[in-house]
């Protein structure tokens, strides 16, 4: 973990309420699945964001405007500074798969983009299932198509397979040896019930981001663990979903 001041390089709007914020080059190294916590001026608690991309030292975060803090982030311009805790959490174990399947749900799928790029750099083009409520939620589909073999499922059938992610998994019958999943808790629970042969990036409310407050604890087969410090990536077989 590092406490740094990051400088905004770009803050691009990619849909009505979704942005990608890129920062100037920094002396960090990120694994796919790690996250950062940003302290927005005027707000007490930091906000966690999964690493969307990290290329040539430049960090990119994808975020949706859902409250006053992210609304303020959306107004930030090139050159503005933001206080950040960086290189947080553990990442995905890319050595587990020779034929990886990436499973994403909605905007929660954002960390899978850097993971797909990581596999591509290893000479592996991952298969990916990207699920969403409706076609308009697939805001980063073109990015993913550049780095993975993508299939889509939407709840309303406006794009790809009509149905939820697990129904789509059964429909497409992917040839994979290990999966990596990011998305809502409900989606992750369904995926883990279908198969435990994978890793899951858990979402939780985080106050500190480095394990001090215990506010993001979940139950596992080895007892309570902190999503921010012990995760956010866990093996699917160790998570006890309530």
Q: Where are the domains of the chain?
A: 2-88, 94-238
In angstroms, rounded to a whole number, what is the distance separating the alpha carbons of residues 160 and 162?
6
Q: What share of the chain is helix, strand, coil (3-state, %, to 5)?
A: 20, 35, 40
- Residue 99: Cβ within 10 Å count: 12
Q: Check residue 204 and give its pLDDT.
A: 73
Q: Check residue 240 and give its pLDDT.
A: 94
214: closest CA among 225, 202, 201, 203? 225
Give me the mean pLDDT over the 203-231 stretch. 82
Instruction: Assess contact for 151 and 198: CB atoms under 8 A.
Output: no
Cα dihedral value 221, 222, 228, 232, nearest 10: -40
pLDDT in tens, 12-48: 999 999 999 999 998 889 999 999 999 999 988 888 9
With a cut of 80, say whether residue 141 has pLDDT above it: yes
Q: Check residue 1 and give its pLDDT.
A: 86
Q: Check residue 163 and give its pLDDT.
A: 96
In angstroms, rounded to a whole number, what is the distance separating the alpha carbons of residues 196 and 21?
33
Query: How many degrees, rounded to 5, is the angle at CA 119 between CA 89 and CA 27?
Result: 50
Cα separation values, 100 from 21, 38, 69, 71, 128, Å: 28, 31, 35, 36, 8
Instruction: Assess contact for 24 and 54: CB atoms under 8 A.
Output: no
pLDDT band at residue 215 using 50, 70 and 90 as cut-offs: confident
pLDDT in tens, 53-84: 999 999 999 999 999 999 999 999 999 999 99
Q: What does DSSP say about strands 198-201 and 178-182: parallel, antiparallel, or unpaired? A: parallel
Per DSSP, 109 falls in state G
In angstroms, rounded to a whole number, what is the distance separating the alpha carbons of residues 6 and 24?
7
pLDDT in tens, 160-191: 999 999 999 999 989 999 999 999 999 999 99
From the candidate CATH numbers 3.30.70.1170, 3.30.43.10, 3.40.50.10540, 3.40.50.80, the one assigned to the domain spanning 94-238: 3.40.50.80
In angstroms, rounded to a whole number, what is the distance separating the alpha carbons of residues 121 and 31?
13
Find all residues with CB under 8 Å of 134, minimum gap 6, and list them.
Answer: 154, 155, 156, 158, 159
pLDDT in tens, 104-140: 999 999 999 999 999 999 999 999 999 999 999 999 9
Nearest 5°: phi and psi at 115? -65, -45
With a cut of 70, say whether residue 206 has pLDDT above it: no
Q: Check residue 51 and give its pLDDT.
A: 97
Place domain 2-88 in its CATH homologous superfamily: Translation factors (2.40.30.10)
Domain 2-88 and domain 94-238, same fold? Reply is: no
Alpha carbon 35 to chain centroid, angstroms: 8
Give me the mean pLDDT over the 83-90 stretch. 95
Q: How far apart are the first and last CA of the chain?
A: 30
Indicate the pTM of the whole model.
0.94
């Amino acid at each position: 973990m590092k406490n740094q001041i990051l400088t905004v390089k770009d803050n691009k709007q990619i849909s009505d309420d979704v942005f990608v914020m890129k920062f100037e080059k920094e002396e960090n190294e990120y694994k796919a699945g790690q996250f950062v916590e940003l302290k927005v001026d005027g707000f007490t608690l930091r906000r966690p964001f999964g690493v969307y991309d990290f290329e040539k030292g430049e960090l990119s975060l994808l975020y949706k405007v859902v409250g006053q803090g992210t609304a303020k982030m959306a107004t930030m311009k090139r050159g503005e500074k933001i206080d950040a805790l960086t290189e947080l959490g553990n990442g995905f174990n890319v050595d587990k798969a020779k034929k990886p399947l990436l499973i994403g749900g909605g905007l929660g799928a954002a960390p899978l983009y850097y993971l797909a790029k990581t596999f591509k750099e290893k000479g592996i083009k991952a298969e990916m299932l990207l699920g969403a409520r409706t076609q308009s939620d697939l805001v980063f589909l073109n990015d993913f198509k550049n780095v993975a073999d993508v299939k889509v499922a939407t709840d309303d059938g406006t794009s790809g397979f009509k149905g939820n992610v697990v129904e789509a998994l059964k429909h497409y019958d992917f040839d994979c040896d290990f999966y990596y999943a990011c998305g809502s808790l409900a989606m992750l629970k369904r995926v883990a019930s279908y198969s435990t042969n994978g890793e899951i990036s858990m979402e939780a409310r985080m106050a500190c981001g480095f394990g001090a407050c215990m506010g993001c604890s979940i139950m596992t087969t080895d007892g309570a663990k902190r999503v921010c410090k012990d995760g956010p990536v866990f093996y699917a077989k160790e998570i006890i979903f309530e």
